[in-house]
């Protein structure tokens, strides 16, 4: 059983690495951002509230996200482990998550921190586009992640779109939130002896190689 928590600044490559791990280990990639972006499309008060929070780089409420997680990790496809991308996002969520795991008898697994320079992550955010259908992520400014045809998803032919929160101003908002709220989690998990650091500055293949060395075959 492989349970993996990925922690990194926004646009550092968590989603890309999670997708590779999903392929390699055949375990689900749980992105709370993707789940929330789907909910944000709903024409309801909750949908509109979530959309506004995401677009402004704010966090949605801990209670909502913990409910979503609780339901998701108890699905059958998580029996052999799962990759968490975007959760927990603060210490309060980590404490609630630990209570949830204790209750259902699941081990925390490993926490992988992808370290990256702030300017590089901001550049990746500025160049990021994604497929609204299959969620595959591409970059318009990184060779390793370019789509074969500009603006079109390699996998399903959909037109690629930009996330509303991938603009310079909102990126800074999200980055500052990461430093203030999410980075204390590294210390929280280091005290529990489950943290591994990888260097995310050298691209997708390098990051993945380091992660696989930690997780094993």
Which of these segments, 53-61, 133-141, 184-192, 206-214, binds ligand AMP (CB under 6 A)?
53-61
Q: How many residues bind ligand AMP (CB under 6 A)?
A: 17
Least CB distance to ligand AMP at residue 217 (A): 28
Residues 205, 167, 35: CA angle, nearest 5 degrees: 65
Whether residue 18 has a cis bond before it, omega within 30° of 0: no
59 is a site residue for ligand AMP (CB under 6 A): yes
48 catalytic? Reply is: no
CA–CA separation, 139 vs 29, rounded Å? 20
Outline where DSSP puts E strands in 98-140: 110-115, 128-130, 137-139
- 89 annotated active-site: yes
Cβ(182)–Cβ(92) under 8 Å? Answer: no
72 belongs to the binding site for ligand AMP (CB under 6 A): no
Q: Does 13 bind ligand AMP (CB under 6 A)?
A: no
60 part of the interface to ligand AMP, by CB under 6 A: yes
What's the CA gap between 147 and 145, in Å, rounded?
A: 7
Can you give the binding site for ligand AMP, defined by CB under 6 A?
Answer: 10, 32-33, 36, 53-54, 57-60, 65, 86-87, 89, 93, 165, 174
């Amino acid at each position: 059983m492989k349970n993996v928590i990925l922690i990194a600044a926004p646009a550092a490559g968590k989603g890309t690495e999670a997708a590779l791990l999903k392929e390699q280990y055949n375990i689900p990639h749980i992105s709370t951002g993707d789940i929330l972006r789907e909910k944000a499309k709903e024409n309801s008060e909750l949908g509109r509230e979530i959309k506004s929070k995401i677009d402004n780089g704010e966090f949605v409420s801990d209670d909502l996200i913990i409910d979503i997680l609780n339901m998701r990790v108890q699905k059958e496809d998580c029996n052999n482990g799962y990759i968490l991308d975007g959760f927990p996002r603060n210490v309060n969520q980590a404490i609630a998550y630990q209570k949830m795991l204790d209750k259902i008898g699941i081990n925390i697994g490993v926490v992988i921190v992808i370290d990256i320079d702030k300017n590089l992550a901001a550049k990746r955010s500025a160049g990021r586009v994604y497929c609204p259908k299959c969620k595959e992520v591409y970059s318009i400014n990184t060779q390793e992640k370019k789509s074969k045809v500009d603006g079109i998803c390699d996998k399903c032919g959909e037109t690629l779109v930009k996330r509303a929160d991938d603009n310079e101003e909102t990126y800074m908002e999200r980055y500052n939130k990461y430093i203030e709220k999410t980075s204390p989690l590294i210390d929280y998990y280091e005290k529990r002896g489950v943290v591994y650091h990888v260097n995310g500055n050298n691209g997708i293949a390098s990051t993945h190689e380091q992660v696989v060395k930690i997780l094993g075959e």
